[in-house]
Amino acid sequence: MVREMDERASIPRALVDRLFDLGVMGIRVPEAHGGASGSFFHAVLAIEGLSRVDPSVAVLVDVHNTLVVSALVHWGGDELQDRYLPRLAGGTVGAYALSEAGSGSDAFALATRATDTPDGFALDGRKLWITNGAEAGVFIIFATVNPEAGHRGITAFIVERDTPGFRVGKKEDKLGIRASSTCELLMDGCVVPRANVLGEIGKGYRVAIETLNEGRIGIGAQMVGLAQGAIDHATTYVKERKQFGRAIADFQAVQFQVARAATELEAARLMVYNAARRRDAGEPFVKEAAMCKLFSSEVAERVTSLAVNLFGGYGFVKDYPVEKLYRDAKIGQIYEGTSNLQLQTIAKQILG
Ligand SMILES: Cc1cc2nc3c(=O)[nH]c(=O)nc-3n(C[C@H](O)[C@H](O)[C@H](O)COP(=O)(O)OP(=O)(O)OC[C@H]3O[C@@H](n4cnc5c(N)ncnc54)[C@H](O)[C@@H]3O)c2cc1C
């Protein structure tokens, strides 16, 4: 289905349902709420495995588990958890909406307003680039209750898709991970009950920072998985393809390129696993998470590019999956913090 999903730029609902049936969507949901009570590491392994075949399906699972479910488990009180976690394990996809047209890297310059009213908070504004926008039933939306307070005004809200005043807008037409939906969200007097504040009022920046700090390990896993997929395809191909009367895998130049790619990939994988392990062990992991995303997204770009080269002309057409994996790799250097922002985080951790 991978090529068809890429061409149609959508993931069929039947496949999303299968992910729920398999328990993949509930990995991070506690057993008491119908999930698997899996560790962060379990989620990372699932994302890596899925990315080997299709990074678009993997990011649907990734955002749902490592951002939405994680934020609810960490910041949601009993009432919010009782209401939403069983749904997130049982068939409702989650999305996480921080970015806006004017605030990407500078995420806390967001302009979406939350106005306190007798009926709850009225949200007004527009979110951009929201993964799972087409499929999601539940959205975590960041808005400010007081623009003058800067990041201290930012608050996280749980918003249901059918809330009056809430609408999913345009879906982006993308270079890679085309099957994953990336949508704008429009809020126009969208009233959210006070009980749907996730964490505390004015503490949304902490919800965002803490979930994204660990979420980027999931993107590292996506990059490692897709690079592994590209190497798998390339190693099969170079053993079959003959030029100059022998398999191209017999040429030492090709062997060394594959060996270097596999070595880099192993380093990236171990960095992702180490960051996930540290996170699960309660050790500091912010530097390691930023490093693993930075490095694995660069490795993924190099490895998928090599895979295209090794397929020769066939690498440049859509008949083989490496062309798609090459396109899919690019996003790793952009979302959940661009590479420059990862470097900034790493430098801050090292230099103080
Ligand atoms: C496919 C896709 C899915 C996404 N999914 C989601 C989602 O589910 N939820 C969500 O909230 N967001 C999502 N995003 C948004 C994504 O996180 C942002 O695009 C990203 O953070 C970059 O922000 P920006 O696009 O505004 O780029 P900008 O911030 O404008 O950056 C442009 C360039 O300037 C550089 N730059 C900016 N500031 C600095 C600085 N201080 N120092 C050095 N360089 C700098 C950047 O590194 C980059 O190269 C998604 C984006 C895409 C493309």
Complete DSSP assignment for 101-162: SS-SSSGGG---EEEEETTEEEEEEEEEEEETTTTEEEEEEEEES-GGGGGGGEEEEEEETT
Give residue 119's pLDDT.
96
Query: Is residue 301 annotated as a catalytic residue, yes or no?
Result: no
Per-residue pLDDT reduced to its tens digit, 130-181: 999 999 999 999 999 999 999 999 999 999 999 999 999 999 999 999 999 9
Of all protein residues, whose CA lies closest to atom 32 belonging to ligand 1?
Answer: 105
What secondary structure letter does DSSP report for 281? T
Per-residue pLDDT reduced to its tens digit, 14-42: 999 999 999 999 999 999 999 999 999 99
- Is the backbone of residue 186 left (phi > 0), alpha (psi -120 to 50) or beta? beta
Cα 104 to middle of ligand 1, angstroms: 4
Give me the percent of the chain exceeding a pLDDT of 70: 100
Across 184-205, average pLDDT: 98
Q: How many CB atoms lie within 10 A of CB 287?
A: 17
Give residue 93's pLDDT.
98
Q: Which residues contact 22 (CB under 8 A, 6 or more apart)?
A: none
Per-residue pLDDT reduced to its tens digit, 250-279: 999 999 999 999 999 999 999 999 999 999
Instruction: Please identify, by atom number, the ligand 1 atom nearest to the C-alpha of residue 133.
Output: 8
Distance of alpha carbon 89 from alpha carbon 222, whole angstroms: 21
Of all protein residues, whose CA lies closest to atom 30 belonging to ligand 1?
Answer: 104
Q: Per-residue confidence at 96, pLDDT binned at 50, 70, 90?
A: very high
Cα 238 to middle of ligand 1, angstroms: 37
**CA-only gyration radius of the chain, Å:** 21
Cα 297 to middle of ligand 1, angstroms: 15
Residues with a CB atom less than 6 Å from ligand 1: 63, 96-99, 104-105, 129-131, 174, 182, 331, 334-338, 340-341
Of all protein residues, whose CA lies closest to atom 31 belonging to ligand 1?
Answer: 105
Give residue 106's pLDDT.
96
Tokens for 305, please give them: 């590019």
Cα 240 to middle of ligand 1, angstroms: 41
Give residue 165's pLDDT.
98
DSSP string, 47-92: HHHHHHH-HHHHHHHHIIIIIIIHHHHHH--HHHHHHHHHHHHHT-
Across 190-194, average pLDDT: 98
The reported pTM is: 0.98
Instruction: Please identify, by atom number, the ligand 1 atom nearest to the C-alpha of residue 172.
Output: 1
Of 68, 105, 178, 341, the one to substitute when testing ligand 1's pocket (max ligand atoms within 8 A of C-beta) is 105
- Is the backbone of residue 197 left (phi > 0), alpha (psi -120 to 50) or beta? beta
Give me the percent of the chain exceeding a pLDDT of 90: 100
Give residue 323's pLDDT.
98
Distance of alpha carbon 278 from alpha carbon 273, whole angstroms: 9
Give residue 91's pLDDT.
98
Give residue 266's pLDDT.
98
Across 64-80, average pLDDT: 97
Of all protein residues, whose CA lies closest to atom 35 belonging to ligand 1?
Answer: 340
Closest of 13, 2, 54 to residue 137, by C-alpha: 13
Of all protein residues, whose CA lies closest to atom 26 belonging to ligand 1?
Answer: 104
Cα 224 to middle of ligand 1, angstroms: 21
Instruction: Please identify, by atom number, the ligand 1 atom nearest to the C-alpha of residue 67.
Output: 8
